Chain A
Amino acid sequence: DTAVSQTPKYLVTQMGNDKSIKCEQNLGHDTMYWYKQDSKKFLKIMFSYNNKELIINETVPNRFSPKSPDKAHLNLHINSLELGDSAVYFCASSHGGGELFFGEGSRLTVL
């Protein structure tokens, strides 16, 4: 069983569209994250949820809205997509301040 799974793995869409990425973890972790990896491979945290509560919200445009229906799921919805949103988005989970377990990534391409 995949520990952290994301869907879809690839999204190709036009500017201005709205898209969602889903993430689920079966590790029993309390904390889940969204990270963005740009074309230069730089990895930046976007959001973190602990037991469904938002605890980290980095400087991210409010077009990005995370939702955590329960502690095993953390979804990311993006409104009005822009070219600069093209990136690989990684979901991750951890137990407290421990190591991160990453999903396989969702590659978003905005045309």
Chain B
Amino acid sequence: AQSVSQHNHHVILSEAASLELGCNYSYGGTVNLFWYVQYPGQHLQLLLKYFSGDPLVKGIKGFEAEFIKSKFSFNLRKPSVQWSDTAEYFCAVNAHTNAGKSTFGDGTTLTVKP
């Protein structure tokens, strides 16, 4: 079975600080990887995704993530956060052989102080 682990439950940063959120997954086969963001009171929306190719993927709002296959990791980064980045961030994995089922990590709450 696939599983996802997000190591940081709550991260608090000041504006302009750099961000890195950890994500590790457990699955031996080929996977698709995603980061979703949920702004307060809203639904989840896609930040970025990795299916294949260049392991460094860029998403919306200046976010990027790097897939490191040997470490089963897909960490999310942003060089300089803004107050508007305050949200819940979810890493998700979707195994190619698992009927399209996406498994989510427990989420990381990011609070950016102005």
Interface residues of A (CB under 8 A from B): 31, 40-45, 48, 50, 55-56, 90, 94, 96-105
Q: Which of B's residues lie within 8 Å of A, judged by CB?
A: 32, 34, 36, 38, 42-46, 49, 88, 90, 92, 94, 96, 98-104, 106-107, 109
Q: Known: A99-B49, A100-B44, A104-B43. Contact between A41 and B101, CB under 8 A?
A: no
Cα distance A106–B15 in the bound complex, in angstroms: 32
Count chain A CB atoms within 10 A of each CB in B42, B49, B102 and give the residue with the most. B102
Q: Are A45 and B43 in contact (CB under 8 A)?
A: no
Q: How many A-B residue pairs have CB under 8 A?
A: 57
Question: Which partner residue on chain A sits nearest B48 by CB separation?
Answer: A99
Tell me whether A103 and B104 are in contact (CB under 8 A): no
CB <8 Å contact, B100 and A50: yes
Inter-chain contacts of A56 with B (CB < 8 A): 99-101
Q: List 5 A-B contacts (CB under 8 A).
A: A41-B107, A42-B106, A50-B100, A99-B49, A100-B46
Minimum distance in angstroms from A91 CB to a CB of chain B: 9
| Pairwise interchain contact B100-A48, C-beta atoms closer than 8 A | yes
Smallest distance from the beta carbon of A96 to chain B beta carbons, Å?
A: 6
Nearest chain A CB to B63's CB is how many angstroms away? 14
**How many Å from the CB of A9 to the closest CB on chain B?**
11
Alpha-carbon distance between A105 and B38 when the two chains are bound, in angstroms: 11
What CA separation (Å) do A50 and B101 show in the bound complex? 11
A44 to B32: give the CA distance in the assembly, Å. 18
With contacts A90-B44, A104-B43 known, is A97 near B109, CB below 8 A? no
* Seed contacts A97-B32, A99-B46, A105-B43; 5 additional CB < 8 Å A-B pairs: A42-B107, A45-B101, A99-B34, A102-B43, A103-B43
